[in-house]
Amino acid sequence: MGNRITFGEDSLKMSNGLTSVFIDVLTLAGSRIAQTVDEKRLIVWLAEKDQSKVGIGTVGFDICEMPWNTENFEENKRFMLKVIEAAENRTDWEKLDYQPNEEHIFWALKEFAELISKLDFKYVLPNALGEWIMAADSDDPVICGFPKCEKHGALLSCFGCHICNN
């Protein structure tokens, strides 16, 4: 089955296993470098794409749906590209209990960077951030100060630590 990340006519299709690794490495890298609330929100949103909790093959998305802060869109976009670069540099991979297949994950990260690079502000869903925050429970990490996993240093999502879950 797999998952698809899209932007317009372009898409990145990954197997379920590659998707999990993809989210793992982005979560680790992003958790390491995220400083602002906007940056942390983007990483937590990605970490919520947890197939172990929501189902195999069900975590694809369109990048326009991500919780971009429309007031800081360009900064958010630059941050996401830095996260991808940090993942390509194997940031915190030593925290994984497996070795990612570099050929596959580097290909997926490159394709994702191309999608993010193409994203223009006019395509961003303006209510995505607000709707996502409004749907969060009162104990959701995105509402409660962005706690991190003690073992992996990964930002927690409503499902806990993406790395622990995998």
Alpha-carbon distance 58 to 50, whole Å? 9
> How high is the pLDDT of residue 81?
98
Burial of 159 (C-beta count, 10 Å sphere; 0-12/13-18/19+)? middle
> How high is the pLDDT of residue 102?
98
Alpha-carbon distance 107 to 109, whole Å? 6
Confidence of residue 104 (pLDDT cuts 50, 70, 90): very high
Alpha-carbon distance 141 to 164, whole Å? 16
